[in-house]
Amino acid sequence: MADKRNWGFCLTVCLASFLVANADIKVSAPVGQLFVFELQRETFQNEFEPFLKHYAGRVYNDPMVFKCNKQSFPDLPEWLRFTQRHPYDNGFLYGTPMSAGKSIIEVTVINKRSYDTFRERLIINIGPRANKMPFQAEFFIKLREIEKVLPSTVQAAIKQDVMRMWETDRLEFVNITSALDRGGRVPLPLAGHYEGVYVKMGSDQYYSKCLLKLQSPDHQRQCEAGGRRETGDCAICTIPSNCITWCKSILIDLSRPVAAPPAPSMGSGVLEAGGQYDPLDSPPTRDYFLDYIVTVLVPLVLAILLCLLLAYIMCCRREGVEKRDARTPEIQLYHHHTIHGNSSELRSMAGARGVPPPLSSLPMFNFRTGERPPPLQSDSPSIPLIMAQHEPNIDSLPRK
């Protein structure tokens, strides 16, 4: 009984580990060469809909986005970059590893239609340098975008062209970089405008005569003068979009020893060994009186002047008091006089109340019919606050 349980347990574990092991993708990459891994949507589509395709015969084409990171890290390793232009395009992991080792990349696929996710591990075994490539060259391809250059067929076509220029077939890609990563500009969203791509290739064969022209002073002068020389005499491109820009291409010769940078020269402020630090004297005192005058007194004087001006306008230039000798008691008298006049005017108006008041000032005047309620009993001590409505249509309503 226990044996059987053990067997079952082992089977599950083994199956699980087999499945996990199966989910990993293993690839290898040599140091110093371009590594490209294409994340194909089609493959992951099968992972999302394994049965639909086989049994229902239905094939989806879902938008998918990929998230890639180094295992248990938030980002990718330094040497690896990821690009995917659009959820309907494949993604690419690419870069040039510079030291041997193992990189485990977690790829999370998000299906943008069903919002299913799927995770896969990509194990990159970085092996030792396959071949030395002391002679390198970098070409600029103007009419390309990074995603359009990374597929292996396009890489092969570019390699073919460079092989003919270099006159060797011992060529490898070292790096492919979007011009945007080098400070290039995002192009206008128009046909015929591309970001541009830098392609770096290396070989153990010395440069051909043709490529050596890139180093001639003649070439540099021409490029500086016009910059119009898009293609050199020996630039070869079988497909127009793979044509290189001759003036932006350079040769990188790693076989020559690199001159060591000059040793840093000491400045005057460095203390000699065993010396004693002698602090500087404190700076001479400065007279701040002028600054004080400018920052405090000038605005203060201005403010006082403005105040005086405002006071003059408010007190002596008021409407109706324009008399030159309008002294204070006279103003008060004037005020008193007007208040007196107004109140007597109101009194006389109140005395002339014999006229019937306007209809609209009466309580409960029906403004539509002009009907007035029967006069109130003047002897009733209190007037009801809300009186019955005398609207004919309300009266005609059936009573409950």
**Which parts of this chain interact with ligand NAG (CB under 6 A)?**
96, 174-175, 177, 181-182, 200
CB 126 within 8 A of CB 28: yes
Give 94 or 207: the residue with its C-beta nearer to ligand NAG.
94
CB 207 within 8 A of CB 250: no
Give 90 or 96: the residue with its C-beta nearer to ligand NAG.
96
In the complex, least distance from residue 32 CB atom to ligand NAG, rounded to whole angstroms:
7
Give 138 or 161: the residue with its C-beta nearer to ligand NAG.
138
CB 248 within 8 A of CB 128: no
Give 175 or 366: the residue with its C-beta nearer to ligand NAG.
175
d(CA 307, CA 285): 37
In the complex, least distance from residue 177 CB atom to ligand NAG, rounded to whole angstroms:
4
In the complex, least distance from residue 136 CB atom to ligand NAG, rounded to whole angstroms:
9
In the complex, least distance from residue 221 CB atom to ligand NAG, rounded to whole angstroms:
28
In the complex, least distance from residue 201 CB atom to ligand NAG, rounded to whole angstroms:
11
In the complex, least distance from residue 120 CB atom to ligand NAG, rounded to whole angstroms:
25
SS (H, E, C) the chain: CHHHHHHHHHHHHHHHHHHHHHHCEEEEEECCCCEEEEECHHHHHHHHCHHHHHHHCCCCCCCEEEEEEECCCCCCCCCEEEECCCCCCCEEEEECCCCCEEEEEEEEEEECCCCCEEEEEEEEEEECCCCCCCEEEEEEECCCCHHHHCCHHHHHHHHHHHHHHHCCCCEEEEEEEEHHHHCCCCCCCCCCCCCCEEEEEEECCCCCHHHHHHHCHHHHHHHHHCCCCCCCCCCCCCCHHHCEEEEEEEEEECCCCCCCCCCCCCCCCCCCCCCCCCCCCCCCCCCCHHHHHHHHHHHHHHHHHHHHHHHHHHHHCCCCCCCCCCCHHHHHHHHHHHHHHHHHHHHHHHHCCCCCCCHHHCCCCCCCCCCCCCCCCCCCCCCCCCCCCCCHHHHCCCCC
In the complex, least distance from residue 90 CB atom to ligand NAG, rounded to whole angstroms:
21
In the complex, least distance from residue 37 CB atom to ligand NAG, rounded to whole angstroms:
16
Give 16 or 252: the residue with its C-beta nearer to ligand NAG.
252
Give 81 or 219: the residue with its C-beta nearer to ligand NAG.
81
Give 84 or 96: the residue with its C-beta nearer to ligand NAG.
96
In the complex, least distance from residue 29 CB atom to ligand NAG, rounded to whole angstroms:
12
Give 64 or 149: the residue with its C-beta nearer to ligand NAG.
149
Give 181 or 291: the residue with its C-beta nearer to ligand NAG.
181
